[in-house]
Amino acid sequence: MTYVALITGASSGIGEATARRLAGQPDVHLVLVARREERLRALADELGGATVIAADLTEEDAPRRIAEVVEREHGALHLLVNNAGARWNGSFGETGWANVQRHMRVNFDAQVRLVEALLPLLRGTAAQPPGASAQAPQRAAPVAIVNVASTSGRVSRRGAAAYSASKFALIGWSDSLYAEERPHGVHVGLVLPGFIATEGFPAAELRAKPLTRLIVSTPDVVADAILAAGPGGAPERYSPRYYWLAAAARILLPRLVRRSLAGDAFTTNTPGTGS
C-alpha cells in the first residue's frame, strides 16, 4: 500500500524540506497543503507528482475540504505533518490581545481543527490489517501526527509572548492527544525547532553575528526531526537536538533564565510565516 503523507505549509521552508525528504522514499504519495498554489504545483512537478491542495487553514471550511480530497483520492492517511504557522513580534503592551488572537488562530486553532477533520481517516488507516500497512524504509511506520511547535513553546522571550503562547498551547494539547490516541493506533509526535533560517524568518540578524550564527540551523535539520517523530515513532524531538538544554535550564534555573532573557540578545522584529 502507498504511504500517504500530508504536509501543511509545504510551499517553503520546513514543509518543503520535509516533502523533499519523504519524496525520496519508496511508495510515498504526498499531499501538499499551503496557500500558494503555484509554489505547490511547481514543487509537486519537481518531485514527480503529488496531490496539491491550496488552502488557508484559518478559513472555516478548509479542514473539511482537505479531508474530503484525501478521502476521495487516497482513502487512507499515514502521516499528518502540522507545520504551517506564523509569527509577528511585538510586546503585549504594544500589540495586545489582537496579536495573541491571530497567533492562536494560525498556530493552534488551525492545527486542532485539521486534526479533528482528519482523525477518523487516521484511525481508520491505523485499524487496517497489519499486512496492509504501509512501510517506511527499513521498518513498519506507525500512523502518526507530527505537530511542529517551537522551542519558544518551552522558553518564552520578550517580544514573542503571543507566538510562545500559541506554541505552549500546541505542546500541551499534543501531550494529551498522544495519550488519547495511542489506544487507537495513532502516534502523536512533537517537534520543537530552535532558530531556523526560512523564508519567513531569515534570521539575518543572528547570522550576521559570529556569536549567534552557530545557533541558527536549516529546514533540513527539522525535516530529519519530523521523520523521527512521525515514521520513526519518537515522542519528541528538539531541532537542533541541543536546544533541549534551553528547556532544561528553564526548569532547573528559572531565575537565571528569566534574567538572561530580560536582556535578550536574540530578539528580532522579523515576522515569520509558514505557507
Active site residues: 163
CA distance 167 to 154: 8
Specify the amino acid at residue 162.
A
Q: How many CA within 13 A on the CB side of residue 41?
A: 4
CA distance 186 to 164: 27
C-alpha angle 256-169-150 in degrees, rounded to nearest 5: 60
Whether the CB-CB separation of 169 and 108 falls below 8 Å is answered with: yes
CA distance 47 to 212: 34
State how far Cα 265 lies from the chain centre: 26
Strand segments, DSSP code E, in 91-160 are: 135-136, 139-140, 143-148
Q: Is 231 exposed, middle or buried (0-12, 13-18, 19+ CB in 10 A)?
A: buried
Cell of 75: 482513502
CA distance 177 to 155: 22
Q: Cα–Cα distances in Å, from 108 out to 84, 120, 248, 268?
A: 10, 20, 24, 22
CA distance 102 to 80: 23
CA distance 88 to 271: 5
Specify the amino acid at residue 220.
D
